[in-house]
Amino acid sequence: MADSGVPNPALLVANCIGCHTGQNTGINKVPYVFDTTSPQYKETGTEADSNTLAGGNFYWVSNIDDRRGHNIYGLVGPDQLLTVPPGGDGTFSGQLRCSGTMGCHGDRTVTEQISAVKGSHHYKDHTTWQLGATLATSYRMLNGIQGFGDRDYEYRPTDLQHNKYYGIDRTAESETSIGTISSLCSQCHKYFHNGAGSLTSSGTFGTGVWLRHPTDYDMSNAVSSDEYQLYNNSATYGNNIYSVISPLATADTSTTVNTKVFSQANDAVVMCLSCHRAHGSPYSGALRWNYKGWPADGYNGCAICHTAKN
């Protein structure tokens, strides 16, 4: 843990980044989201010899280029290509931080980062579904967001051991679906998720041509073909086993980990994190796999859902 050199609130010797910098080993209690040496991501960040967590890592955006994740103040300079969040409604400007008004975690009405997570940090309950009623009961200190976090933050996840993300099956593109993990992203990237006329050509969610990739949309709705019914039709797992490479959200709020999709209503919900890592990845657009490199190189994670298009 490095001393930041300036006084920190709450008598702490470090800021968010100071405490959360390191290399994950599977036994560290503090989840590390920034590594000073290149983390092992392999192809999808889920392999048995990988060492990043569910959010990915800020290493690549700090060391390679601005496209590989969120440019967090204190780790890297402002993004030279994107000055505002793409898809946003213009309400967010400036460089991102971990928490507070300028960040994703904590109370976004509180400016200072440590104050913004006050009362939640060391009270995390990993045994009950996080209902999002208060900051302390919000998934990963993302205010108002629901979910059930894996105790190891998805260090080498499997279909049996992973985060349970909350999603719903929307009926209207104006529906904001508060509490879902995709709605967190929509706080800054609004029109990628909701807003009349922003998702479908017809204006009716789920009909006509998609203008933006659907999220908070259950795959059992897809009428265009049956390809989604073969989700994760991998040789290793067979059909419908939850894929940690391209995960799905669910409307089920029990603490039973979702291991097989299409087992109950609305458990096959496409979300932003089906394709992206929240912090960053080795790939352009902070994608979970190297989409840009495919088919010459790279990895076709899209085919986990688009099983007829691989």
Contacts (CB under 6 A) with ligand HEC, residues 157-186: 182, 184-186
Distance CA 304, CA 309 (A): 10
* CA pseudo-torsion sign 67, 70, 73, 75: negative
Structure tokens at 302: 């899209």
Q: Is residue 287 close enough to count as binding ligand HEC by CB under 6 A?
A: yes
Contact 161, 54 (CB under 8 A): no
**Residue selected from 71, 180, 250, 290 as contacting ligand HEC according to rule CB under 6 A:** 71
Determine which residue in the list 52, 274, 281, 307 makes contact with ligand HEC, applying CB under 6 A: 274
CB atoms within 10 A of CB 252: 18
Question: How many CA atoms are closer than 13 Å to the CA of 64, on its beta-carbon side?
Answer: 19
User: What is the identity of the amino acid at 296?
Assistant: A
Q: Does 14 participate in binding ligand HEC (rule CB under 6 A)?
A: yes
> What residues between 94 and 153 interact with ligand HEC by CB under 6 A?
96, 98-99, 103-106, 113-114, 117, 121, 124, 140-141, 149
- In the bound state with ligand HEC, the residue whose beta carbon lies nearer, of 49 and 236, is 236
- Are the C-beta atoms of residues 128 and 110 closer than 8 Å to each other? no
Enumerate residues 244-263 that contact ligand HEC by CB under 6 A: 246, 248
Per the CB < 8 A criterion, the answer to whether 269 and 169 are in contact is yes
Is 262 or 291 the residue whose CB approaches ligand HEC more closely?
Answer: 291
Given the complex with ligand HEC, which of 12 and 257 has the nearer CB atom? 12
Q: Which is nearer to ligand HEC, 38 or 111 (CB)?
A: 111
Stretch that binds ligand HEC, among 9-17, 36-44, 165-173, 249-257 (CB under 6 A): 9-17
* Residue among 60, 154, 305, 307 that touches ligand HEC (CB under 6 A): 305
Q: CB-hemisphere CA count at 13 Å for 155?
A: 15
Verify binding: residue 222, ligand HEC, rule CB under 6 A.
yes
